[in-house]
Chain A
């Protein structure tokens, strides 16, 4: 079991690094927002795996808050983009 947890944590950390690459180079702001969305989904997964590894069920509350905040951030960024009009980044 610990092997599986270690392997999945490594996989998800690699995935975080890849998402950070897109966050860094992403040619436009919507690309970066998509990368941030993916960040939050992966943090929910990592928190779940850590909750299993440490046997602390309270960590699930962190996952809930992460999911909630990611949704709010996505909506906020989208409103900002639509109000802002054409942009060049």
Chain B
């Protein structure tokens, strides 16, 4: 029973890792490649570490395997976010079939400034709230 479970976990984990690598090669731009690698590789490593925990079955090894799983699950999204952000700043091209890029109208790549589109217009900002109170 445990043998079969272990074999299944190892195989499924390896297949997910292979799919992640396939996606990394086949997909068209940076963000879609990260979409493929981050999630699938995290799941693959998690499944294989679960198989390790099942195989040894000692407290120390299971704790370490769960530690690896928790660490990967916590750091993979952070790393992906940071790389994606840096890629957008550097100017990685999006796929030509991209439907929507909601950041483009609000982001100025030269000054690194982000606008929400809801700021008060310029003369209101120049006048300021204090002037309203005095006049």
| Residues in A lying within 8 Å of B, measured CB to CB | 1, 4-5, 7-9, 11-12, 14-19, 21-22, 28-31, 33-35, 37-38, 41-42, 44-45, 48-49, 51-52, 57, 60-61, 63-64, 67-68, 70-71, 74-75, 77-79, 81-82, 84, 86-87
| Residues in B lying within 8 Å of A, measured CB to CB | 3, 6-7, 10-11, 13-15, 17-18, 20-22, 24-25, 30, 33-34, 37-38, 41-42, 44-45, 48-49, 51-52, 55-56, 58, 60-61, 64-65, 67-68, 71-72, 75-76, 78-80, 82-87, 89-92, 109
Q: Which residues of B contact A15 (CB under 8 A)?
A: 14, 17-18, 20-22
Whole-angstrom distance between the Cβ of A83 and the nearest chain B Cβ? 10
**Are A45 and B21 in contact, with the CB atoms below 8 A?**
no
- Interface of B (DSSP majority class): helix
Q: Which residues of A contact B85 (CB under 8 A)?
A: 78, 82
CB contact under 8 A between A81 and B87, given known A19-B21, A22-B25: yes
**Are B75 and A82 in contact, with the CB atoms below 8 A?**
no
**Are A12 and B37 in contact, with the CB atoms below 8 A?**
no
Whole-angstrom distance between the Cβ of A5 and the nearest chain B Cβ? 7
Q: Which residues of A contact B75 (CB under 8 A)?
A: 67, 71
Q: Which residue of A lies closest to B58 (CB)?
A: A57
**Are A41 and B72 in contact, with the CB atoms below 8 A?**
yes
Q: Which residues of B contact A37 (CB under 8 A)?
A: 37-38, 41, 79-80, 83
**Are A31 and B42 in contact, with the CB atoms below 8 A?**
no
**Are A11 and B91 in contact, with the CB atoms below 8 A?**
no
**Are B90 and A11 in contact, with the CB atoms below 8 A?**
no
**Are B41 and A41 in contact, with the CB atoms below 8 A?**
yes
**Are A48 and B48 in contact, with the CB atoms below 8 A?**
yes
Contacts A/B (CB < 8 Å), 8 sampled:
A8-B48, A15-B17, A18-B18, A28-B90, A33-B83, A42-B41, A57-B56, A78-B86
**Are B72 and A11 in contact, with the CB atoms below 8 A?**
no
**Are B17 and A11 in contact, with the CB atoms below 8 A?**
yes
**Are B7 and A30 in contact, with the CB atoms below 8 A?**
no
